[in-house]
């Protein structure tokens, strides 16, 4: 059964997003929504809290370039992991995963749909 709810507050506590809903004032009322998939309308072009906040849909489709300007592929996904996010980039030789940290992705240009990546060097062999 579809039901509309309005989010009136939100905060992160111990790595978990806690939301408050209009008209739901106690734990028993919210328990009725347990295991319910919630959809919401999001303006992906609205600025984030920090300048480095990006919506996944803003990143997917961005051309991935090396610092030299050479295009290496296209961002196809953002993999959310507990430690950090990874950019999945489809290249001519297959998919590569780049940790989405400033040292390895120093430039994110959403307006021009472009990211610059500095792939980590792999030395030695297993």
Does the model's pTM come out above 0.75? Answer: no
pLDDT of residue 122: 54
Residue 9 maps to a domain: yes
> Residue 125: inside a domain, yes or no?
no
Given a cut of 70, whether residue 2 has pLDDT beyond it is no
Task: Give residue-wise pLDDT tens across range 67-123.
Answer: 999 999 999 999 988 888 999 999 999 999 999 999 999 999 998 999 999 988 754
Say what the pLDDT of residue 7 is.
87
| Total tally of structural domains belonging to the chain | 2
Same domain (yes/no): 36, 60: no
Q: Establish if 47 belongs to a structural domain.
A: no
Sign, CA torsion 60/84/52/11: positive
Average pLDDT over residues 8-36: 86
User: Domain containing 76: what range?
Assistant: 56-116
Give a yes or no: residue 68 inside a domain: yes
Q: How confident is the model at residue 32 (pLDDT cuts 50, 70, 90)?
A: confident
- Any idea what the CATH number is for the domain that residue 109 is in? 2.30.30.240
């Amino acid at each position: 059964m579809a039901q509309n709810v309005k989010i009136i507050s939100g905060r992160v506590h111990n790595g978990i997003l806690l939301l408050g809903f209009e008209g739901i004032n106690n734990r028993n009322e919210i328990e009725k929504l347990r295991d319910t998939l919630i959809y919401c309308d999001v303006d992906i072009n609205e600025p984030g809290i920090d300048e480095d906040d990006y919506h996944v849909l803003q990143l997917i489709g961005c051309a991935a370039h090396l610092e030299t300007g050479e295009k290496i592929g296209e961002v196809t996904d953002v993999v959310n992991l507990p430690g950090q996010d990874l950019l999945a980039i489809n290249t001519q030789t297959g998919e590569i995963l780049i940790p989405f940290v400033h040292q390895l992705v120093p430039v994110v240009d959403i307006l021009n749909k472009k990211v610059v990546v500095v792939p980590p060097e792999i030395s030695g062999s297993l």
